[in-house]
Amino acid sequence: MNDIFQISAVAIIAFASPIISERIGAPAVIVEIMAGFVLAYFLADLIRSEWFHFFSSIGLIFLMFLSGLEIDFSLLFKKIRQYWRVPLYVFLSLILSFVFVKVFNMATIYAVFLANVSLGIVMPVMREMNLVSTNFGQKILFATFLTDLITISLLSGIAIGYRVSGSYLELLLPAALVPLFVFAYHLGRYLIWHFPDFMARFFDDPMELGVRGSFAIMILFSGLAFILGSEAILGAFLAGSLVSLTFRGAGKLEESLMGIGYGIFIPFFFIKTGADMYFSISELTLTLPLVLLLAGFAVKLLPSAVFVREIGVRASLAFGTIQSSKLGLTLAGAEIARELGIISSGEAAGIALWTILSAFIFPVMFRKVVRD
C-alpha cells in the first residue's frame, strides 16, 4: 500500500505540473523539479526506492529518445546551404564554450553544457510568437536542431572516454552503432516501399502499432548502446532520430509518443533531479550557477554577431538570447556526468539551478527584445 501511495504522489505531481506551469508562465518541467525538491523533504524513502530510480532511468532514456525524434532532419538538409551563417554560429559557440572551460580549468563536459540549447524551450516560444514559419524562426530552429545533434554526440563521446580503460576494442565497439543505425534506416525505408499498407498502421492503428514499435526501437538501441560500452542515452537518441528520419511527417505518432513520454515517464526524471538538488543542498553554492548563467549567455550572444549584417542588431541579440535557454539535455548530461564521477553532486545541483534560471530568464528576454 505504501508503494501505491508513493506512485500516487508522483502521478498527482505529473498531472498538476502543466496546470501550475500555465498559471505561473514556466515550463512544466521546472514545476516538476521544484516538486521533487519538496517531495524529498517529506518522502525521502520514495526518492531512494529502487522502483523510483528505475522509472527515472526510463524517463531519462525517453527524454533523449524524444530529443532525437524532435530533430527535423528535412530542415537540416534543406537549409544548410541557404542558412550557411547558422553552422558558422554553432561552430563559433562551440569554440567559445571550449575556450571558457579551458581558461577557467573546468571539466570538458561543461563546454557541452554551455553550448547546448533546449528545443523544449525554443519551440514553444517560437509557436507562441508565430515565428515558426518565418525566415527568422527557421534560422533559430535550424541552429537548435544542429546544436542538439552536435552536443549529444559530444556528450556521448566524453562519456565513452571516461568509461573505457584504454583498450582500442572498447573505443571501437560503440562505433558499431553507426552501421547498425544505417542498416535500420534502410530496412525501414525498404519496408515502407514494399509493404506500404502494413507500415501505414504505424500512423493510424487502433492497437497503436507505431507507439509499440517506436518503444521497442528505443529499448533495443538503448540496450545495444549499453552492451557496446556506450551510454544508453546515445542509443535512445539514435532511436528517436531513426524514427524521425524513417517516418517523416509522422505527426500523430509523434504526438502519441510525446504524450506518453512527458505524461508518464519523463516526470520521474525531473522529479528525481529536484530531489537530488535537495540532497545536495549543503554542497550547493550560488557562484557556479551564476557563472554558468553569464558564460552560457556570452557564448551564445557573441557569435550572433555573424547575423548583424543580415537581420540587424536587435534580431541578432534576440537570436543569441533564446539560444541561451537550457533544459532537458543539460539536466540529462549533468546526471550522466555525476554518475561517472566527472562532477560532484554539488556541481550537478548547481547545474540544475542554472538550468532553471536560464529557462525562466532568457525566454522572457527574447520576448521583450522581439516585441519592442
CATH at residue 76: 1.20.1530.20
Q: What is the domain range of residue 357? A: 1-371
Distance between CA atoms of 262 and 123, rounded to whole angstroms?
Answer: 15
Name the amino acid, one letter, at 135. Answer: N
For 133-155, b/e burial (b = at least 16 CB within 10 A) is: eeeebbbbbbbbbbbbbbbbebb
pLDDT at 249: 56
pLDDT in tens, 177-190: 778 888 888 887 77
Minimal CA–CA distance to 49: which of 16, 21, 9, 102? Answer: 9
Alpha carbons 268 and 254: distance in angstroms, whole number: 20
* Cell numbers found for residue 29: 518541467
> If you write DSSP's letter for every residue of 129-198 in order, what string do you get?
TT-TTSHHHHHHHHHHHHHHHHHHHHHHHHHHHHH--S-HHHHHGGGGHHHHHHHHHHHHHHHHHH-HHH
Compute the mean pLDDT over every residue in the chain, rounded to the nearest whole number.
Answer: 81
pLDDT band at 173 (very low <50, low <70, confident <90, very high): low
- Given a cut of 70, whether residue 118 has pLDDT beyond it is yes
CA 344 to mean position of chain CA atoms: 21
Higher pLDDT, 172 or 285: 285
Report how many domains make up the chain: 1
Residue 1 has pLDDT above 50, yes or no: no
- The verdict on pTM exceeding 0.85 is no
Half-sphere exposure of residue 200: CA atoms within 13 angstroms, side-chain side? 4
pLDDT in tens, 215-251: 888 898 888 887 776 677 778 888 888 888 887 655 6
Share of the chain above pLDDT 90, in %: 12
* Band of residue 163 on the pLDDT scale cut at 50, 70, 90: low
Report the 10 Å Cβ neighbour count for 124: 12
